[in-house]
Amino acid sequence: MLPLRVLVADDHRLFRQGLIGLLHTRPELARVVGEAASGREAVECARTLHPDVILLDIMMPDGDGLAAAHQIHEFLPSTAIVMLTASELSEHLYEAVQLGAAGYLLKSLDASELFDLLESVAHGDAALTRAMAARLLKAVASHTFHADAGEEALTERETDVLRLVAQGASNLQIAEQLCVSVNTIKVHLRNILNKLQLHNRTQAAAFAVRRGIVSPPPTEA
């Protein structure tokens, strides 16, 4: 398997440097192909480099990360966009999901969380780690979906899959729990996304929370 081609976009040079240094320790998983210091630069780099993953800071001068994510998603729908932020503001997380971001990482991230996320992207799972799922559930609980799709009813099986997705389970874990093959789960997932007119499993998880298919975790003190 080829390493993921990664674009790092953050206005703080120091943080960029640290992140790149960390990614260098897993050359078989990720290869940094570009750096950007603003939202505008990130869009330009994405257009020329076609990376597999973009680690995108939200608060940047000259075009913030959310606007950049929206633009990039338009012309690179298959690229996994992972938002980076120092804050846990639920508005940002929710908006990022709305705009098609696949994942969301705090800047105080653990290396394992970053690598888990990249590995799941590499396996085609799109990105939804357990920690992210918990945060997402909390954030979505206090919001409503603007683009409310999914009038077409899901089957009972699909609802089960969606519930597990929303809890942050990987395709393999879901397959084991439901005693079917991973490919079956992938089919279910594609059907769910089509029916709900959603782009990725993160959005599907948010939908599940909103519809009460899963309940948000208790608020952390």
Q: Which residues bind other proteins (CB under 8 A)?
A: 12, 14-15, 17-19, 21-22, 24-26, 59, 61, 86, 107-108, 110-111
DSSP state of 134: H
CB of 158 to other proteins, least distance (A): 38
Q: Please, what sign has the CA dihedral across residues 204, 205, 206, 209?
A: positive
Q: Which is nearer to other proteins, 29 or 213 (CB)?
A: 29
The answer to whether 102 and 81 have CB atoms below 8 angstroms apart is yes
Q: Which is nearer to other proteins, 21 or 77 (CB)?
A: 21
Polymer length of the chain: 221
Q: Which is nearer to other proteins, 109 or 178 (CB)?
A: 109
CB of 214 to other proteins, least distance (A): 31
CB of 139 to other proteins, least distance (A): 21
CB of 25 to other proteins, least distance (A): 4
CA–CA dist 89, 108 (Å, integer): 14
The answer to whether 209 and 140 have CB atoms below 8 angstroms apart is yes
φ, ψ at 4 (rounded to 5°)? -70, 140
Q: In DSSP terms, which residues pair with 85 in a beta bridge?
A: 106
Q: Which is nearer to other proteins, 108 or 219 (CB)?
A: 108
